[in-house]
A and B are shown apart, each in its own frame.
Chain A
């Protein structure tokens, strides 16, 4: 079973969001489950710093040996940072999806009301498999 940290929020598109409770800026990545489904990640294209994004926008790509997936914005706001380490070494998404494999940060102006708790996300992927 993939790890699903309790303190994070999740989307149906298998992204995680950290820091929603603390303030204005959140960190976004893809879940361990998603990285396992993709296989070895070989290319990550995060959004650009300064970009204004809205919930549900396709803002980047994660590409693996066999497939490519869009990254959907889980929150709206302005992109304040992207993880250049994961651009240089996309395998970080596989080896440490909740840590060094983070993708980008957003100064939040809009949060959807359908983000999932860890428990809800666990139920979602249990139904998936």
Chain B
């Protein structure tokens, strides 16, 4: 039985199509997912991301614990800033990709994927045991709302006194939004400007209502996981379970830069990852035709030989043709879509980059 989020009744009243995702009952779309996608690109969308995990790591040894547990340099993170990083296994395989917020010198919040946060919390607890740090999985007490899109600063500004102008990308500060205590973070997973608001589960409905009201004149619409997936795919952002798995290293995914070999001390995965060359390449594919490549479809070269596999694929509202990310070992020419080799253009990622 899937768990409802604190906003379940709101989604039902909006007529959302619900779907099971990582054990949670989540809104897939409220109406047309393409319209939701376009709203985020041109105005703003409101997402319920309460399925994500929030794990606090606190104490004098918190930074050292995270530097050992994760591949990034968290000790070098200024309070108030956030960093995209990963947890790897000793063999270099990816356990999860994460955003870590340094709330205070001795307090961090690790935001983990819904499908992985229980494992991440267990691993953090285990990996922190020789450090003066406490790992506390507070996922159940949080709701997470994201306002994403070019109009999101105006919308959130109506509801807070926080200094949003100086809240740069990948920073987060505690504040009040619509009278609700929140961690206001300028992060997201859409390729647009936007905010992620971490609040107490009991405040989620109040905040959702206030945001919808404040955003009405700005074109804010509720947006579901379907739009979130096409938005992140256009932005070339990897998804755990698709581009990132336990059998994938950060180097495979083209994200070797997140592994900070220059930091002091050992970290889980260092020995396996040091000097590792990627065994394959993550590429962007744009279909010449209109059939849609899907996760797991074979990618073939000009001779029809299999050279890789699609990790994510979807029709792209912004490009007007289907797009995909795929791991390949040679230059792709086509995707095998139910027996038919459908030709592709190979492009640099991301597919979409917002205008600054």
Binding site for B on A (CB under 8 A): 36, 39-40, 42-43, 45, 61, 63, 65-66, 68, 94
Residues in A with CB closer than 8 Å to B17 are: 36, 39
B2 at the interface (CB under 8 A from A): no
In contact, B32 and A94 (Cβ under 8 angstroms)? yes
Main secondary structure of the interface of B (DSSP, over half): mixed
Minimum Cβ distance to chain B for residue A31 (Å): 16
In contact, B226 and A39 (Cβ under 8 angstroms)? yes
- B224 — nearest CB in chain A belongs to which residue? A39
Interface bin, chain B = 10 to 19
Chain B 17-46, CB within 8 Å of chain A: the 1/0 string?
Answer: 100000000001100111000000000000
Identify which of B29, B290, B294, B322 contacts A39 (C-beta below 8 A).
Answer: B29
Identify which of A39, A42, A94 contacts B292 (C-beta below 8 A).
Answer: A42
Residues in B with CB closer than 8 Å to A43 are: 290-292, 315
B314 at the interface (CB under 8 A from A): yes
**Provided the pairs A65-B230, A65-B314, A66-B226 are in contact, do residues A40 and B292 lie with their beta carbons within 8 angstroms?**
no
Chain B 228-266, CB within 8 Å of chain A: the 1/0 string?
Answer: 001000000000000000000000000000000000000
In contact, B290 and A40 (Cβ under 8 angstroms)? no
In contact, B33 and A39 (Cβ under 8 angstroms)? yes
- 25 pairs, A vs B, C-beta closer than 8 Å: A39-B17, A39-B28, A39-B226, A40-B32, A40-B33, A40-B34, A40-B315, A42-B290, A42-B292, A42-B315, A43-B290, A43-B291, A43-B292, A45-B291, A63-B291, A63-B315, A65-B33, A65-B34, A65-B314, A65-B315, A66-B28, A66-B33, A66-B226, A68-B294, A94-B32
In contact, B292 and A68 (Cβ under 8 angstroms)? yes
A39-B29, A43-B315, A65-B230 known, 12 other contacts, Cβ within 8 Å: A39-B17, A39-B33, A40-B32, A40-B33, A40-B34, A43-B291, A63-B292, A65-B33, A65-B34, A65-B314, A66-B28, A68-B292
Residues in B with CB closer than 8 Å to A63 are: 291-292, 315
Minimum Cβ distance to chain A for residue B345 (Å): 18
- A68 — nearest CB in chain B belongs to which residue? B292
- A37 — nearest CB in chain B belongs to which residue? B17
Minimum Cβ distance to chain B for residue A95 (Å): 10
Chain B 271-294, CB within 8 Å of chain A: the 1/0 string?
Answer: 000000000000000000011101
Residues in B with CB closer than 8 Å to A39 are: 17, 28-29, 32-33, 226
- B17 — nearest CB in chain A belongs to which residue? A39
Residues in B with CB closer than 8 Å to A68 are: 292, 294, 338
Residues in B with CB closer than 8 Å to A40 are: 32-34, 315
Residues in A with CB closer than 8 Å to B291 are: 43, 45, 61, 63
- A40 — nearest CB in chain B belongs to which residue? B34
Minimum Cβ distance to chain B for residue A1 (Å): 12
- B225 — nearest CB in chain A belongs to which residue? A66
- B314 — nearest CB in chain A belongs to which residue? A65
Alpha-carbon gap, A39 to B33, bound state (A): 7
- B29 — nearest CB in chain A belongs to which residue? A39
Residues in A with CB closer than 8 Å to B294 are: 68
Minimum Cβ distance to chain A for residue B108 (Å): 35
Residues in B with CB closer than 8 Å to A66 are: 28, 33, 226, 314
